[in-house]
Structure 1
Amino acid sequence: MSTRSFPVKARSVFTLLGRAALAISLSLLFAHIARAQSASGLTGVVLDPSALRLANVKVTVQALDTGDTRSLLTNAEGEYNVAPLQPGRYEVSAELPGFQRYSQKGITLELGRVARIDITLQVGHVSESVDVVAENQLIESETATVGQFIENKTVRDMPINGRRVGDLLKLMGNAVYISGDVIRPRVTVAGSRGDQQQWLLDGVNASNVALEIPQALFNPPVESVQEVRVQQNNYSAEFGNTAGGVVSVITRSGTNQFHGSAYEFFRNDAMDARNFFSAQKAPLRYNIFGLTAGGPIIKNKTFFFSSNEWQIQRIGLTRVYTVPTAAQKAGDFSQTLTAAGALVPIYDPATTRADPANPARTIRDPFVGNIIPSNRLDPVGAKIAGYYPAATRAAANLAGANNFARNGSTNLNLTTWTTKVDHLLNDNSRLGFRMVLHNFPTDTAATFDNPAADPDGSITTRRAYSFLGTYTRNFGSRAVNDLRFNYQPRRFRQDTLSIGGNWPAQLGLKGVTGSAFPQVTASGYVTLGAGTQQRIQTPIRDTDIVDVYSLLLGKHSIKIGGEARFGQNQDDLNSLTSGSIGFGPQLTALSGTTSGGNAIASLLLGTALSGKIQDTDILNRHAAYYAAFVQDDWKVTRSFTLNVGVRWETHTPRVDANNRQNSFDTTKINPVSGTPGVVTFAGRDGLGSKVYNSDYVNFGPRIGFAWKPSERRSLVVRSGYGVYFGPPVPGSNTASAGFETSGDYSSPDSGNTAAFLLSNGFPATVPQVLNSGFGAVPVGSAVRLAPVYIGQDRQLGYSQQWNFSVQQELRGNIVAEVSYLGNVGHKLPAPDTSINQVRPELLLGAGSAQTRRPFPQFGNVTLLTPMWGNSTYHGLNVKVEKRFSNGLNFLTNYTWSKFIDDVASSFEVGAVPSGYQDLYNRRADKSLSGNDVRNRLAVSSVYELPWGRGRKLLNQGLLSNLVGGWNLGAILIAQAGSPFGLVTQTNTSNAFNPGPQRVNVLKDPSLPADQRTVARWFDTTAVAAPAANTFGNSSRALLTGPGLLNLDVSLLKNFRFKETGNVQFRAESLNVANHTNFQAPGRSLGAANFGAISSALPARVMQLGLKVEF
């Protein structure tokens, strides 16, 4: 299939002009905003030899790389404050008649940090001078924010997977790295939800506005990045739209000297180790190559930097699945056993009848010999079963688990182009422009013999741009304004490999209009077909407007500000045009029990447990975000700084340009069923275009202090508290009932009766007549609609964060810090939740379970990400850090933490069940979080070996060239395992509960460490399925999975030539010790792989590289 090109359309210019006008209006409305979110600053006091403060001293700050100069006079208290300044190298000088001129060079300003430089002038003539060489300031003496700065040496020389900066987040304390790729990393920070960080690229938003998702849209190459700073706790009021930390990335800028590089990195499976679960190594062809160049266009005036990187990856992936045997596909289950070796009986659903001994329940007869007669096989089901691939290896246990393993591949061609231009108009004005292009086509190859049935095969095209313009203006020496305008258009398209194959007709499946292979899910076995059969999102547009202003008033650095973001997402979602069909063991088990049954047997009989069709009209959704804040950093005394601020923010409700949205009224009586529950529609019957209410009362106070008890000791005590609001995160672009061809069908009695028979095809879809009876059926009839909606009372979730830390600077440019971080979250986003659960007291009532649901005229009534969650986090972190000096840097973080919540996060390192077991007892879901990692150690270092030219040893002659120039980099991660829970494969609660049914615990299921094996990680006999019409007694987090131990190493050899030239050879190894890091075991009671581990993180990977720098 050809890859489409996605140009940026000119018609969007008018929209941009309109939003530029709005930016000017916002500037006036908010009286300007505080300093740029990517900027730094310098502050201090000027003293005479007797420590008296000197007023009207001329202080000059000059950027050594660009020549940009700022001057001001100290105030009556002898204090100065220069902000904002861009990160980089600076010189500070001070002059006053009667005193010698003071000059301090080599000051390095880090991203988002205010450095303190106190100056003492000596009596003398101004023509005399005192020159000082600065040392890096390591302690944070001006703010209570807890975070992590990652310096450029670490960014460029560490062994980084994929050469993308997001991988560096795993170096932090109070954080758990969940997963990551070249698109974006996923991490939880200091008790936040997974993937909930606010990403800023050059000081502006880099996340999804239209769908209100804080996911990172850009994960830049390390060669284009200057610095990275992560703020974990108690960040100031100028940062918002997150309760999960702020990740700020600054791209490189040009200087007065020309610099550039050309590089290539490559991997090959010949250098790698085999994955533990693979019979052979997965094929791998992996190349990263690029060019960078930067320098002056006009010296001291205009500068440029450009980075172009390409990645070509052919990544082999080992897929391990459970597939039915040839006998099972033919209907023969005479050898289908449990893991303990007992026969799994297959019951005939056609013999279902009332139990004479207990008419309230039903019984069935088993098939003779446990074999389904050939004349009973459903023709559609039998044909679908034939598309399961044959087993490729012996099963891991008697139940037949993990009997298929094959190497597939993902083909990726990634292009990232970054260009940045800075221009100094005059001493008071600066202009800037930065562009990022991210083109990311992916082709995921199939591992099945017939690619159409493969669940993973797809062709995906992503393209994203970011166009940033900045204008900075100084107003005297006390005020600075910074205006930023960022426009991010994007495109996305995904097609399954079976699109256009007319597969429903080939299978004989009726009632669908699509051409792709239908998605077929048989519990306990690999899925056939893709869940998203086609999706086209174009255009997607995000705009961010920030006007930044800072004002110095005496001892106060006052910041007032605001921000506006606008998002649009047009979505053609054809996810299930060929349908999705679910099969479970219920239809071939003894009714109402977990005795017997097999999902493949149910498929062969054509008895579907559930089914869904969805073909959505084009949706054009819009959303916006507004914020305002005030921040005062008050220098109360020379040694005590108080940070006080408040931020207001709101997300406007998401609207559709054509009102293609629905909601749900839980109290209005439905005319079809006579029961509560009516689907409502935007723009109809009194409902406006906004299907949920605006939430304007979101004020987040922030307060903190930094105290230096003694001027003679480099000791700082810091503490802070703040309230932080996160985005609403509705996530999926759904809630479009009435504007799609849809049908949602399920068994009316939790598996005793089929939703429909395959040979009959899908039942009729819901007529698109938008009235109060839409989609409803009379009570007792087969349902056909499962509405999805966003709650009208939706509010922003928030967290209260606090910290207490002590920093001590040690000899050798080392700082030690002990910090305690607390985080309590409320109204956090829960997983999508069906509110149509049978109440527990009605589980044993008369009639089918469907008739006892609150809204019996519908299937599941799903509330999108209800804001019901709560969490608590306590973390103690010990950090020892040395910034690069004398050939060495290192960063060590040890964290002890405890993380509790009552809802699963979107992304978790653990495997805690998602969704409420009992909607009416949500308190029972409180447990350890899936992101709870009790102990974690992260150590990283870059070391220039001490021999060769310019080093201490062997620094002369030919030998110095051979043995010199060696650098060693390393990252060590050691962390405890994370929690996981156990659920039943067959839900017998008959409650239609939104989450899985958890097991009953009979005894402690954990095993001693010396008894755990890959085939049996925990005691599978210690748990049992709950009785019918009940819920399990286990917690969400019952056990702890395997821990993680990983060491990545890089070895660099530099050959320097001329003054600035260098040729660098690199050898890097990820997981150099080839330690097997197992993932969580099978967690579904009744499944073949229950208790067995079937996957592991990648084995050792080698990477070689060559870089030429000039």
Structure 2
Amino acid sequence: MRLRVVLAVALLFTTGSLARAQITSATISGTIKDETGGVLPGVDVVIRNLDTGLTRSVVTDSNGYFTVPGLAPGKYEARGSLQGFATGVQSGIVLEVAQQAGFNLTLKVGTTSETITVTGESPIVDIRTSGLSAIVLEKAIEELPLNGRNYINLATLQPGIINFTEKSGTAPATRGMQLNINGMGGRSNSFLIDGANMKGYAGIATVTAADSTLGVETIREFRVVTNSFSADYGRAMGGVINIATKSGSNELHGSGFEFFRNSKMDARNFFDVGDAPPFTRHQYGATAGGPLRRNKIFFFGGYERLQEDLGQTVIAAVPTAAARVGNINPAVQPYLDLYPLPNGRDLGSGIGQYSYPFTRVTRENFLQGRLDVELTAKDSLFVRHTYDGAHQVLPTASGVIATTSFPQFFTTNTSGNQFFTVEEKRTFSQRLLNSARFSTSVLTFEQRPANTLAQPLAFFPSAPFMGTIQIGGLSQVGNDNIAPSTQNITYWTWSDDLTYTMGKHLLKTGALVEHAYANKLTTVNSRGNYTFANFTQFLAGTPSRFQGVAPGAVLTRERSNTLFGFYVQDDYRVTSKLTLNLGARYEFFTVPADKNGFDAYLPDVVTSPATVPGGPFVNPSLHDLAPRVGFAWDVTGDGRTAVRGGSGLYYDTDGPYNSSLGIAIITPPFAPAVNIAGAGIPFPTPVFPTATAGGALTVRTLDYHIKQPKGWTYNVNVQHELAAGWAFTAGYAGSRGYQLVSSIEANPVVPVVQADGTLFFPANAPRRNPAWGSIDYRTSNGRSEYNSLQTSLMKRFSHGYQVQLSYTLSKTMDNADAQLGMDVLTASIYPPNPYDPDGEWAVAAFDARHVFSANATWELPAFRNNPVLGGWQVNAIVS
């Protein structure tokens, strides 16, 4: 377990009220009684938002019970009035995103003109739902120390969540946070902003070219749902990050901020030459929100800019001057000149160390605007648009000396993410509420190589500049061999949710239609990649291998498909102490197809001599019915102790789709990969052979009958209020993953059965399908298992401080790499025996047996009441 301690001092700036997407709204319910404990039917209940003045009215039923769904998270008061009783008011109610809160109100005999106000806190124990979730409030988002101010990092402070960083990268498919939630893969999560899809490529948290997510000051709060979530959540089998943005209120609020860092206090890196490289980082912005028309129209807007110049020392291995003496092939000389002479220590064998400074330049702009309108007493509307664009210039270097290039070569990354949502909500009656939403999410990313060469030095005329040269023991020369590349995804989503209160039942049903369009360009080795076994071979111009893509290859794919989702959910209050959460969701998608017909697949990896146009697979989603069931038991009836449990079936709707998109780009006949090894390879102008002359082609393909990844999750836990504002939770949470996408070598050499029955794979034996070389096969034979003890202790903010402690004891097993790079077009890591997938059953790569985290906020008492000097805090995160 790694330990990281961060301390910060911060100044509190702003507050705000927020949005009302059906999936991000809150529900409040309770029972109204008289002083003897008898229930009171027919009580007029008015719930008022203290920030905006907006109200909702209901009447208690024959059991004195009421339910008000569709409320925006924020501060509320509840007012109950009935003839013959004094009006009762409960203040201090704070509703959170996607919360089901309950409270009871007691009316005393009197007249309605009398008012009795009770001030209390919102319930801290969940007595209504069975799913595991945690809320990250505005105070934590704005005040806890965040390196880079990426608020999604705060999700890892909750039990059952691991941020697995070992497989992050620079390609679009590997950028961003990969959160493993309750044993599921890091690409199996859903990210929502005001109920709209904001998921990045292949299920990763959306980031920009700067590897960041700005907009901390525009986020009200977010809920992390980790296990047994209700049927109104779909698309994923891992977890849900449900984000709610700020909106304006009747008060005018604003904030301004600047975070500045530089290298003045930085220590020199061991590899730095001279002083530490210069570093400056400015992150600044402002927000404003308030009323355009009191109680009717509200606005909120925010802007943030990141401006960073990070000096780096890049280390490379180059040939010494002595090694360059000898017979040199004239064709090699221009490429030899690309290697600078060593300026560091001698590494031996004619190799020296070369270091050079490089300034990584990052610029990012974030802008968000939101408008909330109360159209009538029954209709409300909100519109929000978010833009986050970034540009970064960085060296062609991975941190591994063998793949580090030189100052002449660098890479530029550019991204632009936009999220637009409009939602209309109508209250037909005190029992019937409808929410209709349209959203568009546009994610763009471009990675483009650049260099300062006077001559292109391209290996063949159609290439704009040279590819890469790899020499044993030396760093590579040339730009990144996967650039240029682009990844553009657009989601258009229509959804409608209907909520109906019927006696003891809170019924919800809804539908979703989401059309996705992806445009992808990948140019792996399209400019050619030469490999030389050693420097002597390089000087002679005799490479040992050439990798490339045949001329005329089509490297762009344009695909679209549509997801359909339907659900029904019944939160049934069986008794005043017991609630059942029952639901089911059905989701299916259309088979993705290339706009221009550039699809091909291998029908049978054992017998097929060639790929067949079309595909890429039969539809695995048509039977994806997902039931959910759970309970919440208020043990003592006072809302202080709850036993909760639940289970559900979930499907990963993105798995096969994202895998097929990347695979199609390097599948013959549209983009045949060329891989030639041996003697006689010309340099620097290759000869592209036919498949026969160059040997069997390699291929990457999907199982034509691939199945939909699915997972069961289940939990049982106890939650208890220890004292006012303090709550402790402990419980078991587990999951099982089935039909997980995995990668195998589907065309191994023909094995030899040994005396003990084990298989031996001779190096030079013929392959199972002689028409092909290696077949990188994506199939659905993976499975996983997760068991955990999860505990948390929380102190809600009051008396100037808040505390949260989380501990998880868990074990994750699988037989497939749950972090499979669905679109990484480099070599895969295959199981040694493709005939025995269960032989890979072992502790998962992202398994973390013990995970502890803590965070705290303490408002310093010094100058606490001084409007100018006050507001100082100490905030800490330990994990």
TM bracket (short chain): 0.7 to 0.9
Q: How does 1:372-771 map to 2 (within 5 A)?
A: 374-375=326-327, 384=335, 387-388=338-339, 390-391=341-342, 393-394=344-345, 406-445=356-395, 457-498=410-451, 503-505=456-458, 509=459, 511=460, 513-522=462-471, 526-532=475-481, 534-535=483-484, 537=486, 540-582=489-531, 600=535, 603=538, 606-609=542-545, 611-613=547-549, 615-666=553-604, 676-682=608-614, 691-712=617-638, 714-726=640-652, 727-729=654-656, 730-731=658-659, 732-736=661-665, 737=667, 740=670, 742-747=672-677, 753=678, 757-759=681-683, 761-764=685-688
Equivalent position SS for 1:272: coil
User: What corresponds to 1:229 in structure 2?
Assistant: 223
Cα deviation for residue 175 of structure 1 reads 1.4
User: What corresponds to 2:797 in structure 1?
Assistant: 884
* Counterpart amino acid of residue 915 in structure 1: Y
Q: Give the direction of change, closer, same or farther, for the CA distance of 1:629–1:850 in structure 2 (3 Å limit).
A: farther
Cα deviation for residue 249 of structure 1 reads 1.2
2:806 matches 1:893: yes
Contact 1:716–1:807 at 8 Å: present in 2 too? yes
Contact 1:190–1:873 at 8 Å: present in 2 too? yes
The correspondence for 1:257, drawn from 248, 251, 254, is 251
Structure 1 stretches of 5 or more lacking a match? 1-33, 332-373, 585-598, 670-675, 683-688, 748-752, 767-775, 951-959, 974-1110
Q: Partners in 1 of 2:759 and 2:57 — Cα distance?
A: 81
Q: Partners in 2 of 1:455 and 1:629 — Cα distance?
A: 56
Q: Partners in 2 of 1:794 and 1:552 — Cα distance?
A: 41
User: What corresponds to 1:190 in structure 2?
Assistant: 182
The number of residues matched between the two structures is: 831
Q: Partners in 1 of 2:330 and 2:735 — Cα distance?
A: 57
Equivalent position SS for 1:757: coil
2:859 matches 1:944: yes
Q: Give the direction of change, closer, same or farther, for the CA distance of 1:937–1:496 in structure 2 (3 Å limit).
A: same
User: What corresponds to 1:165 in structure 2?
Assistant: 151
Cα deviation for residue 107 of structure 1 reads 0.8
* Counterpart amino acid of residue 287 in structure 2: T
Q: CA RMSD in A?
A: 3.4
2:207 matches 1:294: no
Q: How does 1:112-127 map to 2 (within 5 A)?
A: 112-127=98-113
Q: Partners in 2 of 1:847 and 1:446 — Cα distance?
A: 37
For the pair shown, the structure with the greater C-alpha radius of gyration is 1
* Counterpart amino acid of residue 709 in structure 1: V
2:152 matches 1:238: no
Q: How does 1:29-44 map to 2 (within 5 A)?
A: 36-44=22-30
Q: Partners in 2 of 1:502 and 1:148 — Cα distance?
A: 57
Q: Partners in 2 of 1:725 and 1:329 — Cα distance?
A: 58
Equivalent position SS for 2:153: helix
Q: Give the direction of change, closer, same or farther, for the CA distance of 1:847–1:386 in structure 2 (3 Å limit).
A: farther
The correspondence for 1:86, drawn from 65, 72, 86, is 72
Q: Partners in 1 of 2:350 and 2:120 — Cα distance?
A: 67
* Counterpart amino acid of residue 48 in structure 2: Q
Q: Partners in 2 of 1:741 and 1:964 — Cα distance?
A: 64
Q: Partners in 1 of 2:424 and 2:34 — Cα distance?
A: 38
User: What corresponds to 2:702 in structure 1?
Assistant: 790
Q: Give the direction of change, closer, same or farther, for the CA distance of 1:572–1:907 in structure 2 (3 Å limit).
A: closer
TM-score normalised by length of structure 2: 0.87
Equivalent position SS for 1:223: helix
Contact 2:566–2:586 at 8 Å: present in 1 too? yes
Equivalent position SS for 2:752: helix
Cα deviation for residue 809 of structure 1 reads 0.9
2:828 matches 1:836: no
Residue by residue, what CA displacement relative to the aligned partner does 1:46-76 show, whole Å, maximum 9, x if unpaired? Answer: 1122222221211111111111111011122
User: What corresponds to 2:844 in structure 1?
Assistant: 929
Cα deviation for residue 667 of structure 1 reads 6.4
Contact 1:186–1:907 at 8 Å: present in 2 too? no
2:131 matches 1:137: no
Q: Give the direction of change, closer, same or farther, for the CA distance of 1:694–1:812 in structure 2 (3 Å limit).
A: closer
Q: Give the direction of change, closer, same or farther, for the CA distance of 1:845–1:501 in structure 2 (3 Å limit).
A: farther
Q: Give the direction of change, closer, same or farther, for the CA distance of 1:965–1:195 in structure 2 (3 Å limit).
A: same
Q: Partners in 1 of 2:851 and 2:473 — Cα distance?
A: 34
Contact 2:784–2:815 at 8 Å: present in 1 too? yes
Contact 2:231–2:628 at 8 Å: present in 1 too? yes
User: What corresponds to 1:596 in structure 2?
Assistant: none
Q: How does 1:322-361 map to 2 (within 5 A)?
A: 323-326=317-320, 330=324
Contact 2:25–2:72 at 8 Å: present in 1 too? yes
Q: Give the direction of change, closer, same or farther, for the CA distance of 1:170–1:103 in structure 2 (3 Å limit).
A: same
Equivalent position SS for 2:57: strand
Q: Partners in 2 of 1:462 and 1:840 — Cα distance?
A: 47
Q: Partners in 2 of 1:416 and 1:156 — Cα distance?
A: 16
Cα deviation for residue 810 of structure 1 reads 1.6
Q: Partners in 1 of 2:725 and 2:759 — Cα distance?
A: 72
Cα deviation for residue 522 of structure 1 reads 4.9
Cα deviation for residue 617 of structure 1 reads 4.5
Q: Give the direction of change, closer, same or farther, for the CA distance of 1:744–1:103 in structure 2 (3 Å limit).
A: same
Q: Give the direction of change, closer, same or farther, for the CA distance of 1:128–1:461 in structure 2 (3 Å limit).
A: same
* Counterpart amino acid of residue 970 in structure 1: A
Q: How does 1:1059-1098 map to 2 (within 5 A)?
A: none
* Counterpart amino acid of residue 316 in structure 1: G
Q: Partners in 1 of 2:159 and 2:382 — Cα distance?
A: 34
Q: Give the direction of change, closer, same or farther, for the CA distance of 1:82–1:536 in structure 2 (3 Å limit).
A: same
Cα deviation for residue 393 of structure 1 reads 4.3
Q: Partners in 2 of 1:55 and 1:847 — Cα distance?
A: 78
Cα deviation for residue 384 of structure 1 reads 4.5
Q: Give the direction of change, closer, same or farther, for the CA distance of 1:499–1:71 in structure 2 (3 Å limit).
A: farther
* Counterpart amino acid of residue 634 in structure 1: Y
Cα deviation for residue 225 of structure 1 reads 0.6
* Counterpart amino acid of residue 929 in structure 1: A
Q: Give the direction of change, closer, same or farther, for the CA distance of 1:174–1:327 in structure 2 (3 Å limit).
A: farther
Q: How does 1:824-863 map to 2 (within 5 A)?
A: 824-831=736-743, 833-841=744-752, 852-863=766-777
Q: Partners in 1 of 2:98 and 2:645 — Cα distance?
A: 18
Residue by residue, what CA displacement relative to the aligned partner does 1:774-822 show, whole Å, maximum 9, x if unpaired? Answer: xx53xxx532632232222122211111112111112241111112211
Cα deviation for residue 305 of structure 1 reads 0.3
Q: Give the direction of change, closer, same or farther, for the CA distance of 1:402–1:500 in structure 2 (3 Å limit).
A: closer
Q: Partners in 2 of 1:329 and 1:515 — Cα distance?
A: 31
Q: Partners in 1 of 2:440 and 2:845 — Cα distance?
A: 36
Residue by residue, what CA displacement relative to the aligned partner does 1:367-407 show, whole Å, maximum 9, x if unpaired? Answer: xxxxxxx55x7666676465455555448x98999955554
Q: Give the direction of change, closer, same or farther, for the CA distance of 1:238–1:604 in structure 2 (3 Å limit).
A: farther
Q: How does 1:92-107 map to 2 (within 5 A)?
A: 92-107=78-93
Q: Partners in 2 of 1:873 and 1:378 — Cα distance?
A: 59
